[in-house]
Chains A and B, each alone.
Chain A
Amino acid sequence: MATKMLSLADDRGRLQSAGGRKTLGGIVMGCAAMQLLEAELKTYEDHRLELLKSDEGKWVLVHKGRLVAVFDTQADAIRAGYKEFGNVPFLVKQVVTVEVPQNFVSNHLAL
């Protein structure tokens, strides 16, 4: 699939616009950082139903408003994401009907 390299400056700009959230060295931390993936999550949700028909269980790579490709494994999708875009926010998500939450039975997490 043809893709174009996107500028790192674009993504750094997104980081700087994430004002009001906890940051370290200009990088947003913790659960607030997932807001850096808002565009990717919207793109995934927009395509989720069609992806479920064709690629349920597989892993999709999304960058900004574009579905880049579908992969058999999470590791392959992550590797492709770094190769294609470098160290910028991108979304690797498994195509599933219902997302099962990660479960923590202890009180170690301050959430």
Chain B
Amino acid sequence: MPSFTYSVPALQASGPILQANLAVSTPLEEVLRDGGQSVPAPVAVTALVDTGASGTVVQEGIAARLGLLPIGTTLITTPSSTNVPCAMYAMRLIFGEGRIVVEGTFIEAPLQQQNIQCLIGRDVLVHGVLVYIGYINQFTFTV
């Protein structure tokens, strides 16, 4: 089982953050390769594991950097808004030094904190086990 442990100084203040890459989905990569087209390079992001997010969100602009176009829509409800329609994109989330790869449809929306470009939501967490060990500033994700 792929597993990765992160040590984050001041885990309580910053939250469970990690470095990840966002890439085009495997089906699109296959289509691009079969068509002799180049595959866009993955985009490196700082991501926050957010158990309060039902879905994974990527910062506005990341889909465009990957050359992606929307393949779905969803509604979003936040503390300050209700049923905001947003576009979704098929992507691959890669973290844990490449050991953990999750294919999914992720929401693109503006994120407030400039240092966070991705919220990892429960659509990713559903695939594994998240262990948060606060008193030693560590968390582990296993899929």
Q: A-side interface residues toward B, CB under 8 Å?
A: 11, 15, 22-25, 27-34, 36-37, 41, 74-75, 78-79, 81-83, 86-93, 99-111
Determine if A27 and B69 form an interchain contact, defined as CB atoms under 8 angstroms apart.
yes
Check if B63 is an interface residue, CB within 8 A of chain A: yes
> Which of A28, A86, A102, A110 contacts B111 (CB under 8 A)?
A110
Residue from A83, A99, A106, A108 with most neighbouring chain B CB atoms (10 Å): A108
Which residues on the A side are within 8 Å of B110 (C-beta)? Answer: 30, 109-111
Q: B-side interface residues toward A, CB under 8 Å?
A: 25, 27-28, 30-32, 35, 48, 50, 52-55, 57, 60-61, 63-65, 67-87, 90, 103, 105, 107-113, 116, 119, 121
**B103–chain A nearest beta-carbon distance, Å:** 7
Which residues on the A side are within 8 Å of B84 (C-beta)? Answer: 31, 111
Task: Given A34-B73, A87-B69, A110-B111, check contact A29 B61 (CB 8 Å).
Answer: yes
Determine if A102 and B64 form an interchain contact, defined as CB atoms under 8 angstroms apart.
no
> Which of B25, B30, B76 contacts A101 (CB under 8 A)?
B76
